């Protein structure tokens, strides 16, 4: 049995984002050949259970996000020097400045998922971008195996660093609720994301403000000036429903099941968990036109680059049942073939 220590997440049970959902499902679907150990932030859990999904939980007194993510990951690696796992699975590159030192004193195999080119995101300043880019370069150099969650990122790693890598995406089938059934379709489109400029939130809202088509948009509107400004501008439109974050899986299941189309504006980050989740609902996908999204959907969804594009795409296809059914069934077929957690867990275990 191989002991695998996972570094770089808030922890499990999952209560935050994509990497946390990944770890939750890696442990849920783990084979008898793997024994997981997960580093968790004690600041995110009032109850510190010692084990979850048969994985040992190790708590550290630092935040896993923001500035503290760097010492959090480094402290996790320092702990691994005494734990001596067979494999260290690094999720993200925040603490990879320490990786060269770790490799001097450890024989553990290092597998790193470099995430979605974090240094390119609009939210980071110049210094933070340089730090993250350097961390990425160190991660690629000192890891035994690099995981990219999207072919476009894999191509980037190959071209930028001349390093072979493995493409493993995310599962999305955890969003299918077994408690809710017989949900009828409604007449609205749905968008769901963190309210950040790179997710083209304003582009989507602008498009729907020019039509009579209904949009329900779920996000953390009150977490930034950007979000609050958009909420104030568009909340008066009768066809646009601005909705605060929803974390209940059954409530989200109903929203996703009832919508007539899912609008995905992400322009960065590789394979986006919210996209692969939506693909499991046999729903037409309208995705922002970038290489990440085209790869994830195998170029079979609808695509837009501007508000005008989106308006045209929505109106032209609103009553084209043949095209809508083709896109919807294609998305579901791709999701079942590529984006289930049982498949993803096996792909990770092959690397250990």
pLDDT tens digits, 34-44: 999 999 999 98
**pLDDT per position as a tens digit, 220-260:** 999 899 999 999 999 999 999 999 999 888 899 999 999 99
Q: What is the pLDDT of residue 69?
A: 87
Tell me the pLDDT of the chain averaged across its residues.
92
Q: What is the pLDDT of residue 152?
A: 87
Arithmetic mean of pLDDT, 205-220: 97
Instruction: Answer whether residue 313 shows pLDDT above 70.
Output: yes
Q: Measured between alpha carbons, how far is 231 from 234 in angstroms, rounded to an integer?
A: 6
Arithmetic mean of pLDDT, 306-311: 96
Helix (H) or strand (E) holding 331: helix 321-338
What angle, 0 to 180 degrees and rounded to 10, lies between the N-to-C axes of helices 18-28 and 341-351?
A: 80
Identical topology for domains 2-168 and 173-338: yes
Cβ(4)–Cβ(87) under 8 Å?
A: yes
Burial of 194 per CB tally in 10 Å (0-12, 13-18, 19+): middle
Q: Measured between alpha carbons, how far is 220 from 217 in angstroms, rounded to an integer?
A: 10
Q: What is the pLDDT of residue 256?
A: 96
What are the structural domain ranges in the chain?
A: 2-168, 173-338
Task: Name which of 153, 149, 114, 150 is nearest 134 in CA terms.
Answer: 114
Distance from first CA to last CA of the chain, Å, rounded? 11
Question: What HEC string does 93-127 produce?
Answer: CCCHHHHHHHHHHCCCEEEEECCCCHHHCCCCCHH
Q: Measured between alpha carbons, how far is 205 from 176 in angstroms, rounded to an integer?
A: 27
Q: Which residues are registered as beta bridge partners of 317? A: none
Q: CB under 8 Å to 212, separation ≥6 — which residues?
A: 239
Arithmetic mean of pLDDT, 20-26: 94
Range ranked top by mean pLDDT from 9-13, 84-88, 159-163, 194-198? 84-88
Q: Are strands 87-91 and 2-7 parallel, antiparallel or unpaired?
A: parallel
Instruction: Answer whether residue 172 shows pLDDT above 80.
Output: yes
Q: Which CATH class is domain 173-338?
A: alpha beta
Arithmetic mean of pLDDT, 311-333: 96
pLDDT tier, 117 (very low <50, low <70, confident <90, very high otherwise): low
Q: What is the pLDDT of residue 139?
A: 94
Q: What is the pLDDT of residue 16?
A: 62
Instruction: Answer whether residue 342 shows pLDDT above 90.
Output: yes
Q: Are strands 34-41 and 2-7 parallel, antiparallel or unpaired?
A: parallel
Arithmetic mean of pLDDT, 298-302: 97
E strand spans, the chain: 2-7, 34-41, 51-52, 55-60, 87-91, 109-113, 145-148, 166-167, 188-192, 214-218, 240-243, 261-264, 285-288, 302-304
Q: Which phi-psi region, left, alpha or beta, contains residue 323 (left: φ > 0; alpha: ψ -120 to 50)?
A: alpha
Arithmetic mean of pLDDT, 125-130: 76
Arithmetic mean of pLDDT, 55-73: 90
Q: Which CATH class is domain 2-168?
A: alpha beta
Q: Measured between alpha carbons, how far is 76 from 282 in angstroms, rounded to an integer?
A: 40
Rounded to two decimals, the pTM is 0.88
Task: Name which of 82, 73, 75, 81 is nearest 112 in CA terms.
Answer: 73
Q: What is the pLDDT of residue 239?
A: 97
pLDDT tier, 129 (very low <50, low <70, confident <90, very high otherwise): confident
């Amino acid at each position: 049995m191989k002991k695998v220590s996972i570094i770089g997440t808030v922890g499990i049970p999952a209560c935050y984002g994509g990497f946390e959902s990944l770890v939750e499902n890696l442990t849920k679907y783990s084979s008898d050949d793997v024994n997981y150990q997960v580093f968790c932030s004690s600041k995110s859990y009032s109850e510190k259970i010692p084990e979850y999904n048969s994985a040992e939980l190790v708590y550290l007194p630092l935040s896993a996000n923001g500035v503290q993510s760097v010492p959090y990951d480094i402290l996790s690696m320092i702990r691994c020097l005494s734990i001596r796992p067979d494999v260290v699975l690094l999720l993200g590159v925040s603490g990879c400045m320490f990786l060269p030192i770790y490799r001097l004193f450890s024989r553990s195999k290092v597998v790193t998922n470099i995430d979605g080119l974090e240094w390119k995101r609009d939210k980071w300043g110049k210094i933070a971008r340089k730090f993250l880019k350097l961390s990425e370069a160190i991660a690629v150099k000192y890891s035994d195996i690099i995981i990219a969650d999207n072919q476009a990122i894999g191509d980037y790693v190959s071209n930028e660093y001349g390093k072979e890598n493995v493409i493993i995406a995310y599962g999305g089938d955890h969003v299918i609720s077994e408690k809710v059934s017989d949900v009828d379709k409604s007449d609205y489109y749905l968008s769901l994301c963190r309210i950040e400029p790179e997710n083209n939130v304003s582009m989507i809202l602008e498009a729907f403000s020019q039509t009579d088509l209904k949009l329900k948009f779920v996000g953390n509107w009150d977490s930034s000036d950007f979000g609050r400004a958009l909420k104030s501008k568009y909340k008066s439109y009768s066809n646009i429903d601005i909705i605060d974050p929803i974390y209940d899986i059954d409530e989200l299941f109903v929203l996703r099941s009832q919508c007539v189309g899912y609008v995905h504006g992400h322009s960065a980050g590789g394979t986006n968990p919210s996209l692969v989740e939506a693909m499991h609902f046999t729903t037409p996908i309208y995705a922002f036109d970038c290489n990440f999204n085209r790869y994830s959907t195998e170029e079979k969804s609808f695509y837009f680059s501007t508000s005008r594009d989106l308006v045209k795409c929505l109106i032209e296809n609103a009553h084209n049942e043949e095209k809508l059914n083709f896109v919807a069934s294609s998305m579901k077929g791709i999701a079942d073939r590529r984006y289930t957690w049982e498949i993803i867990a096996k792909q990770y275990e092959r690397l250990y």
